Amino acid sequence: MSEQNTNLSEYIPDVPEHAGFKKVVLELGVANHPGVMSHICGLFARRAFNVEGILCMPVGSGETSRIWLLIFEDERLEKMIRQVEKLEDVLYVKQHDGEHPVFGRLDEFFK
Amino acid sequence: MQMTGADLIVKLLERQGISTIAGVPGGAALPMYDALSKSEQIHHVLCRHEQGAGFIAQGMARVSGRPEVCLASSGPGATNLITAIADAKLDSIPIIALTGQVPLSMIGTDAFQEVDTYGLTIPITKHNFLVRSAKELLTAIPAAFRIAMSDRPGPVLVDVPKDVQNQMVSFEEYPDVVVPDAAPSFDIGAIEEIAKMIEAAERPVLYLGGGVIHSGASQLAVTLAEQASLPTTMTLMALGAMPMDHPLSIGMLGMHGARYTNYVLEEADLLICVGARFDDRAIGKTAEFCPNAKIIHIDIDRSELHKVKTAHVAIAGDVGQVLSELLPRVKPQLRKRWLSHVESLKGRFPLAMPGVDNPRSPYGLIHAVANCLDDSAIITSDVGQHQMWVAQAYPFRRARQWLNSGGLGTMGFGFPAAIGAALAEPERTVVCFSGDGSLKMNIQEMATAAQENANVKIVLFNNQSLGLVHQQQNLFYGKRIMASRYERPTDFLKIAEGFGMRAVDLDPAPNPRAVLAEALNTPGPCLIHATIDPNEFVYPMVPPGAANSEMIG
Ligand SMILES: Cc1ncc(C[n+]2csc(CCOP(=O)(O)OP(=O)(O)O)c2C)c(N)n1
Ligand SMILES: [Mg+2]
């Protein structure tokens, strides 16, 4: 058989550049137990989707927690959100723009 | 009521209707094994390797469509299960993996046989649990079943520390037996739009995936195809959804699909994807797949929609429910022009099956096996050339007739999965087409098959090589054969006999068809050995990374 098909390089997609460095804030309601954080962070890490900031605290009686994620918008964001929504421990995902105040006053702790 | 965590686990499994569990015991699982010794309902199948147990559970689940259970100890027991769990994830198979764990107080201390089973299995399960008290079992076990079988099915792991298994728990009542969650509701407007698109299309193609099998929607899919005259292609996972000999079937698409199948797709102006996910082995180079087609995508998993190909209309819903709504809205059509064009492509570029009349050649052996069986038989395969030949040539005619490791492509899947199938449906004959490389990966389960007297026949394609690798090195790596030929032959007949399994050899038989028929029709496990020429290649083949239209051979 021929060797003409030397174009073997399987298609390797580029990791998208941070499109315009626009930031997005995601708000996640999650079940509060050890392990939830690994489930969520694993999804982002596997797809080389950098999480710039992360905040997590229990809400109310402590049955659930809220996680805030600061990320750069890229074209995969919507697909990413759908993967996150699929996690059993994720109750809801809301998308806010990057100006959301939740990360606002944290700067002083990162000086 | 008061009982130990381990007894509670067994009771909850019984209440979910579990009657067979495959596993291997070990220290951290002993309380569960002790509880199992008291069960009259559950038959425990002692496997020879935990991966075998995982695939036996898969085999049972793939034929029944319901969750089945495998059981292993902590540490190496759990890590040995991992391949089978990952395989279930990629093919959406509902299994529950129960693992023992070191006692809670010792977690994180590098205790004997401690591994972070929970952490290891996060990315390969649909969901997983590390149970921290016996009381939690009351919710975790039912939840495991519910999650495994709801929406898109998948594997769930429940890791139970030994002290939790031994802990006493009191409760008023058993939790309810769980059933699958209701499927997501969908918009009827979108259904109407799909019906219009099908009506308006001139060259539509129906593309069925494993979701059609999971949803039990094969009949509906066939009816849709017939009503709207849709040529229908199936993925590796969907084979059997439409009978291979149905006039509208255009066979399997993708890397080893027939030329005409990929050509028909190339010309399509509408692609109706039902329960499939545009896997790269099926669609080749994404940008060049169905370049002229509008795309309709129906899948229960919302995250699959627009993932690889952006759909013009996408519906997240159970494909059976969606098709039921769609059918009354789709106008019957004959589409004579398109169907006769498809027919002419099929005539000009059919699947070539050289040697189909010779039972000592790959296609011939597959047909000879099929001729000895009826549609009630279950067919599994391992991974390699033999798998692709079977996928191309076996006359599959019903859903759940074909069990295959599609997504992970795991060598070693076929035989234990076949044992699981035979345990779940003992009245059927189960045939595992295997390769000499794949069979060795779970060959120890011959002992399990013999012990269970499972009605499993291995049809071994022995080319003394890792054939598919050998083929790729020949075609794409300048014939530099590296690590794909076995230099020493293996005496599989002796091995089978050593494990207590009958073995027959087609090679010296003057009439291999007669030997085959006798072996396939005699109940109980049997190895059927056949030598296959290592220079037989599977064609056509789309080179990895190329477009489906660029197939060779
Ligand atoms: C567990 C595992 N390891 C490696 C591979 C890569 N692989 C794919 S096919 C193949 C060769 C299979 O050989 P055999 O079972 O003899 O089948 P044949 O192709 O010869 O019919 C290999 C090594 C795999 N799919 N699974
Ligand atoms: Mg081989």
Measured from CB, residues less than 6 Å from any atom of ligand 1 are B 382-386, 409-412, 435-438, 441, 461, 463, 465-469
B119 touching A, CB under 8 A?
yes
Number of C-beta neighbours around residue B25 at 10 A: 18
Test the B interface: residue of A41, A88, A93 with most B CBs within 10 Å? A88
- Which percentage of chain B shows pLDDT scores above 70? 100
- The token pair at B53 is 């147990």
Give the pLDDT band (50/70/90) at residue A4.
very low
Ligand nearest to the backbone CA of B472 = 1
User: What is the token pair recorded at B299?
Assistant: 């899948």
- What was the ipTM of the complex prediction? 0.90
* CATH classification for the domain delimited by B188-348, as one of 3.40.50.2300, 3.40.50.1100, 3.30.420.40, 3.40.50.1220: 3.40.50.1220
Q: Dihedral (C-alpha) B138, B143, B145, B149: value to the nearest 10 degrees?
A: 160
The pLDDT tens digits of the residues spanning B404-461 come to 999 999 999 999 999 999 999 999 999 999 999 999 999 999 999 999 999 999 999 9
Confidence of residue A48 (pLDDT cuts 50, 70, 90): confident
Could you report the per-residue pLDDT of B260-319, keeping only the tens digit for each? 999 999 999 999 999 999 999 999 999 999 999 999 999 999 999 999 999 999 999 999
Evaluate whether residue A108 is within a structural domain: no
Count the Cβ atoms, other than its own, within 10 Å of residue A6. Answer: 11
Six token digits for residue B2: 């008061």
SS3 B361: coil
The fold adopted by the segment(s) B2-170 is Rossmann fold (3.40.50)
The pLDDT of residue A9: 52
Residue A10 in domain: no
Per-residue pLDDT tens for B112-154? 999 999 999 999 999 999 999 999 999 999 999 999 999 999 9
B538 alpha carbon, closest ligand: 1
Of B55, B388, B405, B466, the one to substitute when testing ligand 1's pocket (max ligand atoms within 8 A of C-beta) is B466
- Given a cut of 70, whether residue A83 has pLDDT beyond it is yes
Q: Residue A13 — very low, low, confident or very high, per pLDDT cuts 50/70/90?
A: low
pLDDT tens digits, B468-497: 999 999 999 999 999 999 999 999 999 999
pLDDT at A10 over 80: no
Q: Is B552 within 8 Å of A42 when comparing Cβ atoms? A: no
Burial status of residue B300 (CB atoms within 10 A of its CB: 0-12, 13-18, 19 or more): buried
Burial class (CB in 10 A: 0-12, 13-18, 19+), B193: middle
In a domain, A37, yes or no: yes
Compute, in angstroms, the gap from residue B332 CA to the centroid of ligand 2.
47
Q: How many C-beta atoms lie closer than 10 Å to residue A9's C-beta?
A: 8
A chain contacts of residue B130, beta-carbon cutoff 8 Å: 34-35
Which pTM does this prediction carry?
0.96
CA atoms of B517 and B330, how far apart (whole Å): 45
**Average pLDDT of every residue of chain B:** 98
Confidence grade of residue A106 (pLDDT, cut at 50, 70, 90): confident
Instruction: Tell whether the model's pLDDT for residue A5 goes beyond 60.
Output: no
Hey, which residues does A55 pair with through a beta bridge? Answer: A68
Residues that place a CB less than 5 A from ion ligand 2: B 435-437, 463, 467
CATH class of B362-531: alpha beta
Query: How high is the pLDDT of residue A1?
Result: 36
Return all residues near B347 (Cβ < 8 A) that are at least 6 apart.
none
Going by alpha carbons, the residue nearest to atom 5 of ligand 1 is B411
Residue A8 inside a domain? The answer is: no
For residue A107, what pLDDT is reported?
82
Q: From chain B, pick out residues whose CB is under 8 angstroms from the CB of A1.
A: 474-475, 537, 552-553
Q: What is the CATH number of the domain that holds A72?
A: 3.30.70.260
Does A16 map to a domain? no
Per-residue pLDDT at B376: 98
Residue-range domain boundaries for chain B: 2-170, 188-348, 362-531
The distance of B546 to chain A (nearest Cα, Å) reads 8
Whether residue A2 is contained in a domain is answered as: no
Q: Which among B474, B476, B550 has CB closest to A8?
A: B476
Chain A positions in Cβ-Cβ contact with residue B550 (cut-off 8 Å): 5
Q: Atom 20 in ligand 1: which residue has the minimum CA distance? A: B467
Q: Is B458 helix (H, G, I), strand (E, B) or coil?
A: strand
**Alpha-carbon dihedral A93, A99, A102, A106, rounded to 10 degrees:** 130
Query: How many structural domains comprise chain A?
Result: 1
